[in-house]
Chains A and B, each alone.
Chain A
């Protein structure tokens, strides 16, 4: 319970990347599920859907990459 609470308070520290959405295959890799989007519109739509499904928040890393983070 305390972890959940701290997660909301420390958005920049306690987050977990639940998913990565990107239009550029060379820009993402590693532990979180990665979803490749066809274009900006697709990217945006997938990010919104994933945020809804995962109860997360969408953050923009720039360069066509979004991450969905659970706080």
Chain B
């Protein structure tokens, strides 16, 4: 292999892997939260970047067989989604407040897609570095710049929307009507024990999520979206729940007349602003997104 190819391919692989790295976010919401998961995803990102980087030189050197095999290899990344889904589903039983299948599906899809994006960044790099009629060093530099630009654009475009974008999140007032727990008039559950009621009244926080439009209302009505909110709130703020202590399982229910959603949680950390921020930053799950306003009937109904 000539040095020209080597430099271009190496640059493309590096840019692609870097693109995967900047997409590898990890707060409590995103699931890779331990070193092994980082290695798995960076490893896959490296392979994806290599595939993207090799496609152009394979064609340039008229090695069409290699190009076809690379295209086939790209298909393997479908496995990534399956792998993520399976492992998260297996862990679901061990979560006190489960993620829910919709959230898992969303996470799995994002992981699959990020590998394709790493591939795209690498492909852009090698394409430009081969196509520009410049001295080798400059062509590679231009290619790398173009690849990084692609990665940045991808990151901007594919940045996920969050609940705070589609809804107003504010504190709600917790009330008991006999055993019935409600927050701002949205009835959530029947709490039988007087002690549990007094703990909820003193330690609990009520949250109301008001959708900004009809699209948001339909998205919030999705059970998976609400479970994702509850899961994130519980995993970040802590929650007073154990296997045999289910009284304070956080719940989110709809006000079916207005589409507002109400939640009550008894967190470990009683910090209202922090909780509201957590709820605002829960990702809008791809599979929960509904767009009634994109249809004619939906727009007419919204008037």
- Give chain A's interface residues, CB within 8 Å of chain B: 1-2, 4-5, 8-12, 44, 47-48, 51-53, 55-60, 62, 66-67, 71
B66 interface residue per 8 A CB criterion: no
| CA of A5 to CA of B228, assembled, Å | 13
Which of B13-21, B45-53, B92-100 is the contact stretch? B92-100
| CA of A43 to CA of B129, assembled, Å | 78
Asked if A11 contacts B247 (CB within 8 A), the reply is no
Q: What are 29 residue pairs bridging A and B, where the CB atoms are less than 8 Å apart in the complex?
A: A1-B89, A1-B92, A5-B92, A5-B98, A5-B100, A5-B101, A9-B98, A9-B100, A9-B223, A11-B189, A11-B249, A11-B251, A48-B193, A51-B193, A51-B246, A53-B244, A56-B246, A57-B246, A58-B191, A58-B193, A59-B190, A59-B192, A60-B179, A60-B192, A60-B193, A62-B178, A62-B179, A66-B192, A71-B249
B223: nearest residue on chain A (CB-CB)? Answer: A9
Asked if B247 contacts A57 (CB within 8 A), the reply is yes
Please give, as numbers and ranges, the residues of chain B lying within 8 Å of A2 by CB-CB distance: 101
Please give, as numbers and ranges, the residues of chain A lying within 8 Å of B92 by CB-CB distance: 1, 5
- Interface residue total, chain B, C-beta cutoff 8 A: 25
Q: How close is A62's CB to chain B, nearest CB, in angstroms?
A: 7
Q: How close is B175's CB to chain A, nearest CB, in angstroms?
A: 16
Asked if A60 contacts B190 (CB within 8 A), the reply is yes
What number of residue pairs across chains A and B have CB atoms under 8 A from each other?
Answer: 62
| CA of A22 to CA of B41, assembled, Å | 56
A47 in contact with B100 given A9-B223, A62-B178, A71-B246 (CB within 8 Å):
no
Q: Is the interface of A mostly helix, strand, loop or mixed?
A: mixed
B115 interface residue per 8 A CB criterion: no
B301 interface residue per 8 A CB criterion: no
| CA of A51 to CA of B193, assembled, Å | 10
B80-92: contact bitstring with A at CB < 8 Å (1 yes, 0 no)? 0000000001001
| CA of A58 to CA of B248, assembled, Å | 11
Q: How close is B263's CB to chain A, nearest CB, in angstroms?
A: 13
A60 in contact with B223 given A1-B89, A71-B249 (CB within 8 Å):
no
| CA of A40 to CA of B16, assembled, Å | 68
Asked if A52 contacts B101 (CB within 8 A), the reply is no
B182 interface residue per 8 A CB criterion: no
Asked if A58 contacts B192 (CB within 8 A), the reply is yes
Please give, as numbers and ranges, the residues of chain B lying within 8 Å of A67 by CB-CB distance: 192
Interface centre among B101, B193, B247 (most CB of A within 10 A): B193
Q: How close is A23's CB to chain B, nearest CB, in angstroms?
A: 14
Please give, as numbers and ranges, the residues of chain A lying within 8 Å of B178 by CB-CB distance: 60, 62
B227 interface residue per 8 A CB criterion: yes
- Which 5 residue pairs of A and B lie closest in terms of their CB atoms, listed nearest first? A58-B192, A60-B179, A60-B192, A59-B190, A59-B192
Asked if A8 contacts B191 (CB within 8 A), the reply is no
B65 interface residue per 8 A CB criterion: no
| CA of A52 to CA of B97, assembled, Å | 18
Interface centre among B101, B190, B192, B249 (most CB of A within 10 A): B192
